[in-house]
A and B are shown apart, each in its own frame.
Chain A
Amino acid sequence: MKILHWIWILIGLGACALPGLLHPRPRVHAAESRVTWSRQIAPIVYRHCAACHHPGGAGPFSLLRYQDARRRAPQMLDVTQSRFMPPWLPAPGYGDFADSRRLSDEDVDLIKRWVESGAPEGNPAEAPAPPHYDATWQMGKPDLILSVERPFTLRASGTDVFRNFVLPYPLAQTHFIRAMEVLPSTPQIVHHANVLIDRTASFRHQHRTNWRDGVPGMELEVDSGNTFAPDSHFLFWKPDTPVLVEAPGMPWRLDPGNDLILNMHLKPSGKPEIISAKIGLYFAEEPATKHPMLLQLDADSELDIPPGDRNFVVQDELKLPVDVEVLGVYPHAHYLGRVLEGWAMLPNGEKKWLIRIPNWDIDRQSVYRYRAPVLLPRGTVLHMRYVYDNSDDNIHNPHDPPVRVRAGNQSTDEMAHLWLQVLPVHVPRDGPDPRLLLEQAWMQHRLERRPGDYIALYNLASASAALGRYAEAATLYRRLLSAHPNDARAMNSLGAALERAGDNQGAEQAFTQAIALSPDTCDAGYNLAALEVKSSRFADAEHQFRDLLLHCAADAGIRSGLGVALQGEGNAAAAREEFQRALDLDPENFTALYHLGELAIESGQPEQAVDLLQAAAKDRPDDLDTREHLAMAFAQSGRAADALSQLRDAIRLSPADASLHALLSQVLAGSGELQQAIEEQNQALHLQPNDPDGWNNLGVLEARTGKTAAARSDFEHALRLAPDHAQARANLAHLPPA
């Protein structure tokens, strides 16, 4: 009886588990259409599977050799029929993506026919050569390799782990990055990884004690600091695209003091795994010429999903203020997301799909780049619509039984984000930075949805200030402060906006309040001191700067500010000392170089002044004062030709600056070019006719060329404007009688 059982089981098992092997293969295909590994399947596998399924790759096994594939044939059939492999979420026809992994229906069918016909090899000579994979850097040795500080041990089992590793950028120069490669050390357990740029090292400062070990968390927020440098690139790593190469002209920037944060989604493998990821960076020769920006639609505030709800819908939309090309898209939700959609409604009424994911799975999330940029004219409305399933039918539901879920950073909270990488196009030459207009539209929209949105209000105010709309910015900062009266940073920004709007009194009040709110922060104190310098209250400024020296980190700006205050008080020696200290801290500090140069001219050391001012001009080539002083220094050190070329450059930058023409006239006179000197002085007086010195100088030049009558009338002109002008009176007296 037991034996009988055995036989029965054998047949039963065969019939259930291996239908393809026991059922007769349908004979519909003629012999020549036989599907073989060598002819049809290897090319499919090498193109669509091998990037992960090679020895050491992210896939669990290699599919490079026929023997490997034959063994896995039944599974290959399963996973391609169900479209579990290759991993690819977007529905076809809803956005044309460059990196689409989706198999065509024909390929799926070929695999089916191959497996069902016994997975034959065919003629090995017909098979293409398998692709070659290397465990090292695919683009050769990177220009800079960053490694996580301490290897992290992932536990053997349990839920997935999200961990953030901080990799400080160690260089003292800015570099533009044309390509990045992540080597995660154990690709099989890294689902995906995001690299974020933390411009202010804020995350590291938030986690002072533990950042070296990596910080747990699925989502993170970083502080982008006080300059407008919007996120611009998706730095998203997935196992089959280890190298991220940016388009020509579009490298991304890394500045001294920046951190990279590697945000990894890790899957326990069954044994403890050690992760010691490395990031390789390849430098671009040239800075970026095109400046994309990441825009986000979001509906987080609407996320309040009742337990059991299978069809919870949230939406968002955003109207574009400028023409853009969409380069890529990154939809993001957590475990309850089911259907994720994004599209654009063009001003002409046309609907353009950007993406549609009918069966969201956070484990297989990705950035999707368009094969060709999607042009969206200004006035286009971007839309997102996400559907969530908070029932226990949703197997991804992290709660059993389901509970009410709202937005948040934990993996058990939810999110509704649609990120787009856009490149502004058709940008008018003299218009504002189009990214500021995008930022403004985006933040305005966020505020309409959530009037109390702190970040939106702050960013909108900053964008207004950057667009030169200081009064508007001040209003927004005031609004922010009425909700957050103790926000020292907003108070300081209010002061800066008011100062720019010309309200020095209001500015001073705001800076003073900001200092009171947060005595330890140095920005407001610095701004106040600088304002005092500007309004020539040098003693107050000196006092303020000295105060900053006591509790702020050594800073070249504070030192040079103190120098300016001292110089204003007439204490040149002490000023010089402070400028020198500033240069010890930062050899390129502009203020110190400029003012030391000025002091050198005043103390008759023009050669030294030339060196200092040349260094200053290198830092700020467009600064007219610097060029003017440099020209003076050249002239004093007998380098008339250099002085002339400085001044001519400066005049090109600012043709209507009378003092430049006057200075040029003097240098020309000094090198004997009297006729040209007269022309330039005339030019200066044309721009600034009420300048008695100018008329006096013109008179001198004309007297030297023998034009006595003209000279006389010029001196008289000067005296009409300034009856006490001693020089003009003396010059007039020296003229030979008419």
Chain B
Amino acid sequence: MLLLLCWLVPAAWAAQPFGTDLKGRPVDNLAPSGSRAVVLFFAASDCPISNRYIPEIERLAREFSPEGVRFWWVYPNPEDTSQVVRSHDAQFDIHAEDVLDTDQLLTRMAHATITPEVAVFVPSSDGLREMYRGRIDNRYVSLGQERPSATRHDLEDAIRAVLANRPVAKPGGPAVGCSIVPRNLP
């Protein structure tokens, strides 16, 4: 798969913000100083598989935030307005940094197609380098094919590898969940 090359994107995009936060303020810097890695978690409030991963992403955030890993919860679907996401956050007791991907720039930047799906970047002098993109773990094999629990934790392994400057393994299988809804439907 060609897309698994390391992509380089700017950490701060001068011409256009990446999206907005829930108050409508632009998000234009994904990696404030001190960030050693950036994780984008592509989520959808009405996707059951995405929701089932909330506790896992929170676990990883708790574990790795102190080490300089920055977690962003990215909502790419048009239905996920700030009001919807705010009430979803309240329902699921989520305290995270949300980005509404209003133009799906982040979606395209990370090549995300599914929720839930994640991308891991490292900041470098000339921008953000994509180190990993894909599934969080191997619990879901395909729609309707589910392990009782995950036996491989791809995202966690990727973060550890990044922090240890080791090579990052590719995901062992596809991301499974709900297709991201394109914003440009007729």
Give A contacts to B, CB under 8 Å: 2, 5-6, 9-10, 12-13, 16-18, 21, 60-61, 70-71, 74-75, 78-79, 82, 84, 87, 118, 156-160, 188, 267-271, 335, 361, 363-364, 395-398, 400, 411
Evaluate whether A79 and B143 lie within 8 angstroms (CB atoms) in the complex, with A71-B79, A159-B149 already known: yes
Q: A82-B143, A267-B52, A398-B149 are known; give 6 further A-B pairs, CB within 8 A.
A: A16-B3, A60-B47, A60-B178, A75-B179, A271-B54, A271-B92
A13 touches B47 (CB 8 A): no
Distance (whole angstroms) from the CB of B124 to the closest CB of chain A: 14
Residues of B with C-beta under 8 A to A335: 148
Q: Contact: A84 with B144, CB < 8 Å?
A: yes
Establish whether residues A398 and B148, one from each chain, have CB atoms under 8 Å apart when the complex forms. yes
**Is the pair B178, A75 in contact by a Cβ cutoff of 8 Å?**
yes
- List B residues 140-186 near A (Cβ within 8 Å): 141-149, 151, 178-182, 185-186
Is B55 in contact with chain A by the CB < 8 A criterion? yes
Asked if B108 contacts A13 (CB within 8 A), the reply is yes
Across the interface, A157 reaches (CB within 8 A) one of B48, B52, B142, B178, namely: B52
A-B contact pairs, 22 of them (CB 8 A): A2-B9, A12-B111, A13-B113, A60-B46, A60-B48, A71-B79, A71-B185, A75-B179, A78-B143, A79-B143, A84-B143, A157-B55, A158-B149, A160-B148, A269-B51, A271-B91, A271-B93, A335-B148, A398-B147, A398-B148, A398-B149, A411-B148
Residue positions of B touching A, CB distance < 8 A? 2-3, 7-10, 46-48, 50-56, 79, 91-93, 108-109, 111, 113, 127, 141-149, 151, 178-182, 185-186
In this complex, what residue of A is CB-closest to B116? Answer: A270
Docked complex Cα distance between A70 and B148 (Å): 32
Q: How far is the CA of A60 from the CA of B48 in the complex (A)?
A: 6
* A278 to B: closest C-beta gap in Å: 23
Q: Choose among A10, A16, A74, A270 the residue that contacts B51 (Cβ–Cβ < 8 A).
A: A270
B46 touches A13 (CB 8 A): no
What is the bound-complex CA distance between A510 and B185, given in angstroms? 82
Q: Which residues of A contact B144 (CB under 8 A)?
A: 82, 84, 87, 361, 363-364
Q: Note all chain B residues with C-beta closer than 8 A to A61.
A: 46
Question: Which residues on A sit within 8 Å (CB–CB) of B146?
Answer: 363, 395-396
Residues in A neighbouring B142, C-beta threshold 8 A: 82
Assess whether A396 is in contact with B108, with CB atoms less than 8 Å apart.
no
Taking CB as reference atom, which chain A residue is nearest B185?
A70
Q: Which residue of B lies closest to A79 (CB)?
A: B143
Chain A residues with Cβ under 8 A from B113's Cβ? 13, 16-17
**Which of A2, A335, A398 neighbours the largest number of chain B CB atoms within 10 Å of its CB?**
A2
**What's the nearest-Cβ distance from chain A to residue B56, in Å?**
6
The interface centre, meaning the residue of B108, B148, B182 with most chain A CB atoms within 10 A of its CB, is: B148
**Given contacts A61-B46, A79-B143, A156-B54, A396 and B185 within 8 Å (CB-CB):** no
Contacts of B3 in A (CB 8 A): 12, 16
Residues of B close to A159: CB separation below 8 A: 148-149
Closest to A18 in B: B182
Chain B residues with CB under 8 Å of A87's CB are 144
Q: What residue of chain A has the Cβ atom nearest to residue B53's Cβ? A: A270
CB neighbours (8 Å) of A18 from chain B are 182
Question: Chain A residues with Cβ under 8 A from B180's Cβ?
Answer: 17
Q: Which 3 A-B pairs have the closest CB atoms?
A: A270-B51, A157-B55, A84-B144
* B52 contacts across to A, CB distance below 8 A: 157, 267-270
Q: What is the bound-complex CA distance between A650 and B26, given in angstroms?
A: 95
Q: Who on chain A is nearest to B94 by CB?
A: A271
The CA-CA distance from A10 to B104 in the complex, in Å, is 11
A101 to B77, CA, bound (A): 30
For A271, the chain B residues whose CB sits under 8 A away are 51, 54, 91-93
Q: A13-B111, A157-B56 are in contact. Are A5 and B7 (CB under 8 A)?
A: yes
Residue in B closest to A83 when the chains form the complex, CB atoms: B144
Nearest chain-A residue to B104 (Cβ)? A13
Instruction: Kindly list chain A residues whose C-beta atoms are within 8 Å of the C-beta of B185.
Output: 21, 70-71
Closest to A60 in B: B48
Chain B neighbourhood of A21, CB < 8 A: 182, 185
Contact A270 to B181, CB < 8 A, known contacts A9-B108, A361-B144: no
Inter-subunit contact A395/B108 (CB<8 Å): no
Residues of chain A within 8 A (CB-CB) of B55 are 156-157, 270
Measured between alpha carbons, how far is A632 from B80 in the docked complex, in Å? 85
Per the bound structure, the CA–CA distance linking A160 and B147 in Å amounts to 10
Q: Whose C-beta in chain A lies nearest to the C-beta of B138?
A: A395
Contact A396 B178 (CB under 8 A): no
Q: Quick check: A396 and B46 within 8 Å, CB to CB?
A: no
Q: Please indicate the chain B residues that have their CB under 8 angstroms from the CB of A157 in the complex.
A: 52, 54-56
Complex CA distance for A10 and B182, rounded to whole angstroms: 12
Closest A residue, CB atoms, query B10: A2
A259 → chain B, closest Cβ, in Å? 29
Q: Which A residues lie within 8 Å of B50 (CB)? A: 270
Q: Is the CB of B181 within 8 A of A71?
A: yes
Q: Looking across the interface, which residue of chain A has its beta carbon closest to that of B1? A: A16
Instruction: List chain A residues, Cβ under 8 A from B143.
Output: 78-79, 82, 84
CA distance A411 to B149 in the complex (A): 13
Q: Is the CB of A395 within 8 A of B46?
A: no
Query: B101 to chain A: closest CB distance in Å?
Result: 14
**B51 partner residues in chain A, CB cutoff 8 A:** 269-271
